[in-house]
A and B are shown apart, each in its own frame.
Chain A
Amino acid sequence: MSEFSLWDIVYNLLLAARWTVLLSLTAFVLGGIVGLLLLMVRTAGNPWVVRFVRGYVELFQGTPLLMQLFIVFFGLPLIGLDVSPWVAATFGLTLFTSAFLTEIWRGCVESVGRGQWEASASLGMNFTQQMRYIVLPQALRIAIPPTVGFSVQVVKGTAVASIIGFVELTKAGTMITNATYAPFTVYGCVAVMYFLICYPLSLFARHLEGKFRNVAR
Chain B
Amino acid sequence: MAYKFDFGAIVPHWELLVDGMILTTELTVIGAVVGVGLGIMGAWARASRAPVISQIVGVYVELIRNTPFLVQLFFIFFGLPALGVKLSEFQAAVLAMIVNLGAYSTEIIRAGILAIPQGQIEAAQSLAMNRVQIFRYVVLLPALKKIWPALSSQIVIVMLGSSVCSQIAAEELTFGANYIQAINFRAFEVYFVVTGLYLAMSILLRMGLKVLGNFLFERRRHV
Q: Within 8 Å of chain A (Cβ to Cβ): is B129?
A: no
Residue from the list B66, B71, B156 in contact with A152, Cβ < 8 A: B66
Q: Within 8 Å of chain A (Cβ to Cβ): is B19?
A: no
Residue from the list A63, A64, A74, A170 in contact with B71, Cβ < 8 A: A170
Instruction: Verify A202–B65 contact, CB threshold 8 A.
Output: yes
- Cα distance A68–B68 when bound, in Å? 17
Instruction: Verify A64–B75 contact, CB threshold 8 A.
Output: no
Instruction: Verify A187–B187 contact, CB threshold 8 A.
Output: no
Q: Within 8 Å of chain B (Cβ to Cβ): is A70?
A: yes
Instruction: Verify A183–B74 contact, CB threshold 8 A.
Output: yes
Contacts of B70 in A (CB 8 A): 159-160, 162-163, 170
- Cα distance A157–B164 when bound, in Å? 11
Residue from the list A66, A71, A159, A187 in contact with B188, Cβ < 8 A: A71
Q: Within 8 Å of chain A (Cβ to Cβ): is B106?
A: no
Interface of B is mostly: helix
Chain A 181-216 near chain B by CB (<8 Å), digits 1 or 0: 011100110110011001100100000000000000
- Cα distance A112–B7 when bound, in Å? 47
Q: Within 8 Å of chain B (Cβ to Cβ): is A177?
A: yes
- For B194, give the chain A residue with the smallest CB separation: A67
Q: Within 8 Å of chain A (Cβ to Cβ): is B195?
A: yes
Contacts of B123 in A (CB 8 A): none
Instruction: Verify A198–B67 contact, CB threshold 8 A.
Output: yes
Contacts of B211 in A (CB 8 A): none
Q: Within 8 Å of chain A (Cβ to Cβ): is B138?
A: no
Q: Within 8 Å of chain B (Cβ to Cβ): is A173?
A: yes
Given known pairs A160-B164, A187-B75, A188-B79, the reply for A202 and B66 (CB within 8 Å) is: yes
Q: Within 8 Å of chain A (Cβ to Cβ): is B82?
A: yes
Q: Within 8 Å of chain B (Cβ to Cβ): is A78?
A: yes
> Which of B42-50, B88-96, B196-204 sits within the interface?
B196-204
Given known pairs A170-B68, A194-B68, the reply for A64 and B163 (CB within 8 Å) is: yes
Q: Within 8 Å of chain A (Cβ to Cβ): is B137?
A: no
Q: Which of A59-113 contact B (CB under 8 A)?
A: 59, 62-68, 70-71, 74-75, 78
Q: Within 8 Å of chain B (Cβ to Cβ): is A174?
A: yes
Instruction: Verify B192–A66 contact, CB threshold 8 A.
Output: no
Q: Within 8 Å of chain A (Cβ to Cβ): is B161?
A: yes
Q: Within 8 Å of chain B (Cβ to Cβ): is A156?
A: yes
Contacts of A174 in B (CB 8 A): 74
- Cα distance A159–B81 when bound, in Å? 22
Residue from the list A62, A162, A177 in contact with B198, Cβ < 8 A: A62
Chain B 75-112 near chain A by CB (<8 Å), digits 1 or 0: 10011111100000000000000000000000000000
Contacts of B187 in A (CB 8 A): 70, 74
Instruction: Verify A67–B163 contact, CB threshold 8 A.
Output: yes
Min C-beta distance of B148 to chain A, whole Å: 18
Min C-beta distance of A200 to chain B, whole Å: 9
Min C-beta distance of B177 to chain A, whole Å: 8
Contacts of A70 in B (CB 8 A): 187, 191
Instruction: Verify A66–B68 contact, CB threshold 8 A.
Output: no
Contacts of B163 in A (CB 8 A): 64, 66-67
Instruction: Verify A190–B191 contact, CB threshold 8 A.
Output: no
Known: A64-B195, A74-B187, A188-B79. 6 other contacts (CB 8 A): A75-B188, A152-B66, A177-B78, A187-B79, A191-B72, A198-B66
Which B residues are within 8 Å of any A CB, using their own CB?
Answer: 3, 62-63, 65-72, 74-75, 78-83, 156, 160-164, 166-167, 174, 187-188, 191-192, 194-195, 198-199, 202-203
CB<8 Å pairs between A and B, sample of 8: A62-B156, A70-B191, A74-B188, A159-B70, A160-B68, A163-B70, A184-B82, A191-B71
Q: Closest 6 interchain pairs by CB?
A: A159-B68, A183-B78, A64-B163, A198-B66, A184-B82, A156-B68
